[in-house]
Structure 1
Amino acid sequence: MRHSRNRIDHSARDPRETPARGERPGPALPPAAVRALQLQRTAGNQAVSGLLAGHLPVQRTLAWHGKPVATYEDLPQEDRDRIKKSIDAVYGMFVQPVIEAMIDDRRIHRVTVGLAVKEIPKIIDLLFEYEKNPPKPSPDNPRSRIALQLLEKQQEAKKLNSKVKTSYAETVSVPNLREFNRFLDTNPAFVDYLTKAGIRIFFRSKSANNIGGLYTHADRIVHLEPGVEGERPGIFLRLLLHELGHASFQRMLMTTKPDALNQDEQAFRDAWTVLRRNNGQYLLGLDLGRGRQPDERRKYQAGDFMEFCAENFMHRVTAPGLLNKHLMTINKPGNHVPQDVRDAWRDAIVILDKYVRLLLR
């Protein structure tokens, strides 16, 4: 997802810089720290608690010619072209991975076209060296951190491709590769299902442009639009597992016969028919980032039975605690939730859990 290129507000101040009225002033932050906070705030990447996956968010901020950018696509096209034309062709394919590694790094990098042209070959030469002889202990300097991050990305992408067929896994950020690999390691039965069903994942797919994700049943491909691979780990995993929910739970649930419904599909559809009323008032909606707020996710499910299938599979496998809390609220005595809504959720969960146990056992 693209982030807007806002100008840096040099007048903006962090709460730690200016005490509230009546408070004693704290120690002044160094200018570099103040600048870092300004960059971070302007790019909209402040750390927030309660991240979906339970991890601190990736900082994802780079100062490019003094302006904050959060994705490689935020760099002006002419700057990207100048870099590639100015370095040896063997290094040209590494321009985007290196810039993205700088964005993902825990420290803010201040980069210009000239600096990128100078540093990218050195970083890649170091990467080639580390591929043969990884350093022990790992040196902590910017060039080495970027090279090691690229090495880890190669390893995580290779690990993912050993489990599931993918396209462009190497474009996914290291934290997201780690998170998805961890999920697959924990759920070998799901890996087995995806393998036997011939499911493939296409990252940065133009087929999913402006819609986030898409599952095409005919060729059994899960598509994720460019930008999703760089989302925060929790959001990335949920968007991916929503699409994999189409490819797994929905695929298992729905009959291929156009004029017939099996018993489980009929029960799940009946529950959806009740829960979709009033724009999905009693459905669970989670915050999945810009353009995917809870109310929008409820309406999304209410408008399409297949999205109801995929979204609730995602809820059950990535946020079981939040789904259970929602159900407890629905069934809380005295909260005036209609009885048919309570019954619909009861029936839906029975079907959902039946298939999740088959997929994730």
Structure 2
Amino acid sequence: MLIISICIFLRMRKSKDNFETVEGIQSVESLRYDFSTIRAATNNFSDANKLGKGGFGIVYKGNLLNGQEIAVKRLSRNSQQGDFEFKNEVLLVAKLQHRNLVKLLGFCLEGIERLLIYEFVPNRSLDYYIFDPMKREHINWERRYKIIKGIARGLLYLHEDSRLRIIHRDLKASNILLDAEMNSKISDFGMAKMFVLDQTEGNTNRIVGTYGYMAPEYAMLGQFSIKSDVFSYGVLILEVLSGQKITHFHDGENSEYLLSFAWKNWREETTSNLIDPTLRGGPITEMLRCIKIGLLCVQENVSDRPSMTFVILMLNGNLDPIPTPTQPASFMQSNIVSSTLVQNDKSSSIANNEASITELCPR
């Protein structure tokens, strides 16, 4: 009787845990996969199918029985992300459909297993190309301009055109995937926040994101809005143009913060110093326009940053003249700059979290 009682108790507790985990996911139940299906597709999650590893867990390549290639994110038991991020990504991305967003095909929730199943994107992430001295030689300005525009269209959809208003909160080069035609796709929505359509900003005690890409009002005060994503987008533009990381920029033998270097050269009319040498000889007018747009996006005052609607107008040359930027946010110019992802709790402690830092592999 005792053994039977214990078994019943454990089963009831497991059922309760599963209910709490899937609460709110019932609306996308049609996207649910059986664990056995995904296990077979990834050859039992073999090392040969491993694509990369992040704070969420390991990413595997798989092939469904119909031949479709997939990428599977498997939540590890010791992951600092958990059910909140898992449900957040399922519920948000399942409702989003745009060619510049990575497509969520489904999810698996079975016992302790938490799996996210995505379309397979073969050309890895943006940082795999632009930050590698050799590989960035093969990604010319035409491709980079296409990538910049694609990210902008994806953000515009998130901010204005979808049924929801989504703030990504962790936009960075490693979260931009590239498909076979080098179209950019925004990924990793575990940290995203949903707004009601008439809501413009929010506050949080849990700050998540990557230093260097985070807007100052968000990093220091926990205030976020669509303009927080705009700031991150401006950083991305300058990284794509320069081929260097925001937090590890080098001017010859000297290390400098990329935003301050960009502003100094804009002010001194020597912006060619900012452009990746592999792009020299390209359409300088388009490059200078992108530098100007990038600087406008990283303005310290939220109201001075353009919306993504205006960003796209400027990128397409349909807004003339483009406003003149002023000095960008400079709060990151101290030695506290770090590329690690952070989370701040109510006591303002900082804990390292690699949830959105993924090794550079195709997904």
Asked if these proteins are the same fold (TM beyond 0.5), I'd say no
Going by fraction, where is helix more abundant, 1 or 2? 1
Look at both structures and tell me which one has the larger radius of gyration over its CA atoms: 1
* TM-score range normalised by the length of the shorter chain: under 0.3
Going by fraction, where is strand more abundant, 1 or 2? 2
- Alignment TM-score, normalising by the size of structure 2: 0.24
- Alignment TM-score, normalising by the size of structure 1: 0.24
